[in-house]
Structure 1
Amino acid sequence: MAERGLKASTEGIAKANQALIRNSLNKAALARDLGLSRATVTNFFRVIPIDRLNFEEICKGLGLNWQEIVDIRVGKSQTEKHQNPTSKNYDFVGREDAIAHLNNLVNEGAKVILIQAEGGIGKTTLAKKWFELQGLEYLELRVGSTPQNLNSVEDWLRVKLRDYFKDNPEENFMIMLEQLKTQLQIRKIGVLIDNLEPALINGKLIEPQHSYYVELLTVLAHHSVQSVTLITSREQIDEHTLKRLQTFQSYTIEGLKQEVWRQYFEICNINIDSDALREMHQAYGGNAEVMYILSGDIVTTSKGDLKYFWKKNCDYLLINSTLENLVQYQFDKLQRDNPQVYKLLCRLGCYRYQYVSIIPEEGIFYLLWDEQKERDKLKLLRGLKNRALVKFSEEGCYLYEVIREEAIQRLKLTNDWKQCHTEAGIFLSTLISNSCQTIIPKITCIKVNDTQEQTYLNIENAKIAVKQGLSKQETIALEVVYHVMEFYGVGCFEELRQEPKVLDNPFFKAIENMVFEYVDCYSNLGLVLYKFALSTQVLGIIDEIEENFIASSKEFEYYQRSLKVSQCFFQTALLMATKVKEDKLMIKLIQYLAECQDFTGMFLYQITKNNESTEAFDKIKVNLEKLVQRFDKLSFEQKSEEVKQAIHSLRINEQYYSKFIATFLT
């Protein structure tokens, strides 16, 4: 696997840590002072390779000679790569489309481009890379980290005129702007205004820098200048003077694609698990800085095992303090700038965005029960859209799980929790028709003269039927159940059905019937096929004994296929039982699944398909583990001797299958 960038030696990192203390700095402050991402600085101190230029910049910021800090073994090969302009920079991946989009905007006449996205998405990295690819020098205006310590635009302009352009700056700011315009009309350079959001409140540039920024950006957007200005910000600029300029454009970038995460993790020598990668990427929205941070955590805490890391941390998305600070900063700023929009963002955390993945605008308005005027609701919605924390599409909005997690925690600190789930449940209820009918899968039975052909057709028709899955109404019904459960603070559907206030509710009764009708239907169909498979196996054994090998071969094939389809029915039923946290149903269905997999595994073992047999037995182990976890979660009153014996038996079975695989299948 190719190395990426430079990393410090053991002695070098010790010197760097000493320099950090000597300069009274921490990693976050160092990153801020250097204009680098916190992930880059963190990776430097974790001895994870980073981009060469960033490595040199960090060493310089610490007052160190980078050549005395670098790991020579890596440094030598990277120096050779640095001399080769075609070598790949692995600190910048997956942004080919973004580079092309910026090129198109510039070719169409844009002079100032606002690159907007949530924190950590890679705005600054993209801007710097674009300048690098264009071969442009650029002047950087560092805005400041808070509204209280904004850097002076006037002072910045004076210094650049004097030191960079070698021009004698005038005292008057407007005259200095004319001097700048004259220079930019004859020189093609870039200007980077990085992290503008501290200078913005609700999209408006704040005093005392408001007029300075507006005038500066107006000059930078003038059609006669040869410069290109890139601004990075977590929120939109909502200044009429600037937005009306045709040469002022905005570009919103999204998270990196899953395949980019995969490639980057592979570069970091991380063992990839596709399911874990998909879930992780989805939870964090493809955030670039998260990718860098997690790569270090996976390597250092889980020995590069992605599956193990995700299993341990999937319920704690903000366990890394850097990630937590990144998300909290954005929430805190919104709370200061616009408490009403902040409140709406927190309320949006009540939706799950899993089974109903996008909430339409009407669903957002239901959460604005305390806003009477339509105009005010639209204004709040617009304020939400100007932030990058909520993702909008033509169908509606959704939150990435990492943002939702923070929103939920903050929502629980308010008095809105129950009301939010009430309104969300009511809204979703409007999407369900009055009939609340379950779509029952139908297995078409075709009568033919040949018994074996009849069997084959029945199995195939069952396979087609099980693919139907949950209907839209059933999916929405499950979400209604979730919101009702959250309202009453109950842990599962069984507890909810015991609530006196829902017992006589006809709408809830209809939903309850839908859930159980669906689960019963699929579990019963699974049982029918399961029993049919066992009967077919007996016929196959008899025919084999009687040397009817052609017939027995077909019967064993049908046996295997029936077991496979029956598992599909059980898994579909388990899907709904899991969503409503119905423990008893889940236990029953997992047991059915384990039994099916047991028969499948033994049959495959007998016909010496060891790889497939191992896979089947591994699935049994997974289901046995789930059963133990499910039993362990039962309340104390439910833990009868029978349950304790069941747990004991399951653990013995786990040991048996582990030993069986180790002895016979490896």
Structure 2
Amino acid sequence: MVRSIRASKSGLKKAEKKFNGKDCTQDYLAGAANCTRQTVSKFFAGVAIDRRFFLSICDELGLEWREIADLESEIDGGEGGVNTQRGLYIPNTRCRRLWGRKDLVEKVLSRLSDPQEPSILALSGSAGYGKTEAATQIAKTALKNNTFADVLWVTARQTELVDGRISEENQYEVLNWNRFLHEIADQQLKCPVEGVHQRLKEEKLLVVLDNAETADLESILSKLNRILSPSRALLTSRVKTKPPYVGLIPIEGLDITSSGELLKDEAKYNEIPILENISNEQIERIHKLSCG
């Protein structure tokens, strides 16, 4: 029996339409399909995944798997095969264009390339400031520039923060060092946990930890820092990280010009005429109310 299946191009369009209509996250879909978010990302990237997960994802989306699968290119051997596609685990961007972040992206890329900088950098800022989108652009550009051999991307679960801390009822969902290490080893590097250090030493990899505020950073950062060189790490977090070996990069709201361009572009794309012709005074008011 074929153990691994990927979606066809036409199948992906159907799956994406269903997914967008459900208004849920890849994390939610992964939980419902009893697989990892990385497996869901591979599904939407048209990469072969284990047959049982493929069928489960299709079932959760309300799709007939035979209409989605690329049956002419089924692959035997499962997910354990070697995959040469770089950046496979970088999530898809949610916006069509990253507004007002060019300088930030260039700044972070420069610091990631500087051997004098800390091995771990952290994008820190309030919710809605586009930290994940910026990190996605940084990761893709780093691969394009061959700054890193590949990107390993781990997303901590989005849990409720109370007074800047994870609420007690969500403690069981916290990403700790062991879970973090196993996700990198099993899902991405395809190596034993004991081999992660060697891989990070042999190849210059970029490890991204998204939503880091909902992870057990005390158990992750100190251990990760010790095994990184020459690889590097990038965090996104709503809260500022305190260890001296982490370089903090605050991310602020958009400037008023970028805010206006973003608003008008979205209005045009979504066909909202009243916003397409918005005045500068109205843009200034919206920018002030939204804090950029």
Cα distance in structure 2, aligned partners of 1:252 and 1:34: 31
Equivalent of residue 153 in structure 1, options 156, 166, 177? 177
Residue by residue, what CA displacement relative to the aligned partner does 1:136-186 show, whole Å, maximum 9, x if unpaired? 5322222223341113431332343245334333xxxxxx3xx32221121
Runs of at least 5 residues in structure 2 that lack an aligned partner in the other structure? 1-11, 31-40, 46-56, 69-94, 160-165, 269-275
Cα distance in structure 1, aligned partners of 2:153 and 2:138: 14
Cα distance in structure 2, aligned partners of 1:267 and 1:112: 35
Corresponding residue number in structure 1 for 2:257: 259
Residue by residue, what CA displacement relative to the aligned partner does 1:70-112 show, whole Å, maximum 9, x if unpaired? xxxxxxxxxxxxxxxxxxx833121111012102322332321
Cα distance in structure 2, aligned partners of 1:141 and 1:272: 39
Structure 1 residue 64, shift from structure 2 partner: 5.7
Q: Does 1:193 align with 2:209?
A: yes
Equivalent residues of 1:190, 1:229 under 8 A apart = yes
Equivalent of residue 226 in structure 2, options 203, 219, 230? 219
Cα distance in structure 2, aligned partners of 1:249 and 1:191: 15
Q: CA 1:261 to 1:198, structure 2 compared with 1: closer, same or farther past 3 Å?
A: same
Equivalent of residue 112 in structure 1, options 116, 120, 124? 120
Corresponding residue number in structure 1 for 2:278: 272
Residue by residue, what CA displacement relative to the aligned partner does 1:163-218 show, whole Å, maximum 9, x if unpaired? 5334333xxxxxx3xx3222112112221111121236xxxx4xxxx4x3144332
Cα distance in structure 1, aligned partners of 2:183 and 2:202: 19
Structure 1 residue 33, shift from structure 2 partner: 3.5
Cα distance in structure 2, aligned partners of 1:228 and 1:63: 40
Structure 1 residue 129, shift from structure 2 partner: 0.8
Cα distance in structure 2, aligned partners of 1:159 and 1:198: 16
Q: Does 1:165 align with 2:189?
A: yes
Q: CA 1:115 to 1:258, structure 2 compared with 1: closer, same or farther past 3 Å?
A: same
Q: CA 1:63 to 1:190, structure 2 compared with 1: closer, same or farther past 3 Å?
A: farther
Cα distance in structure 2, aligned partners of 1:102 and 1:264: 22
Equivalent residues of 2:109, 2:142 under 8 A apart = no
Equivalent residues of 1:181, 1:219 under 8 A apart = no
Q: What is the total number of aligned residue pairs between the two structures?
A: 205
Q: Secondary structure at the match of 1:255?
A: coil
Cα distance in structure 2, aligned partners of 1:117 and 1:214: 19
- TM-score normalised by length of structure 1: 0.27
Runs of at least 5 residues in structure 1 that lack an aligned partner in the other structure? 1-7, 21-26, 36-52, 70-88, 170-175, 287-666
Corresponding residue number in structure 2 for 1:455: none
Structure having the higher strand fraction is 2
- 1:219 corresponds to which letter in structure 2? R
Residue by residue, what CA displacement relative to the aligned partner does 1:500-554 show, whole Å, maximum 9, x if unpaired? xxxxxxxxxxxxxxxxxxxxxxxxxxxxxxxxxxxxxxxxxxxxxxxxxxxxxxx
Residue by residue, what CA displacement relative to the aligned partner does 1:241-300 show, whole Å, maximum 9, x if unpaired? x31x3xx311001111221122223323122211100110111111xxxxxxxxxxxxxx
CA RMSD of aligned residues (A): 3.7
Cα distance in structure 2, aligned partners of 1:198 and 1:162: 21
Task: Look at both structures and tell me which one has the larger radius of gyration over its CA atoms.
Answer: 1
Cα distance in structure 2, aligned partners of 1:116 and 1:34: 27
Equivalent residues of 2:154, 2:183 under 8 A apart = no
Corresponding residue number in structure 1 for 2:135: 127
What is the 5 A alignment of 1:293-372? none
Q: Secondary structure at the match of 2:158?
A: coil
Structure having the higher helix fraction is 1
- TM-score normalised by length of structure 2: 0.58
Equivalent residues of 2:212, 2:236 under 8 A apart = yes
Cα distance in structure 1, aligned partners of 2:213 and 2:230: 26
Q: Secondary structure at the match of 2:241?
A: coil
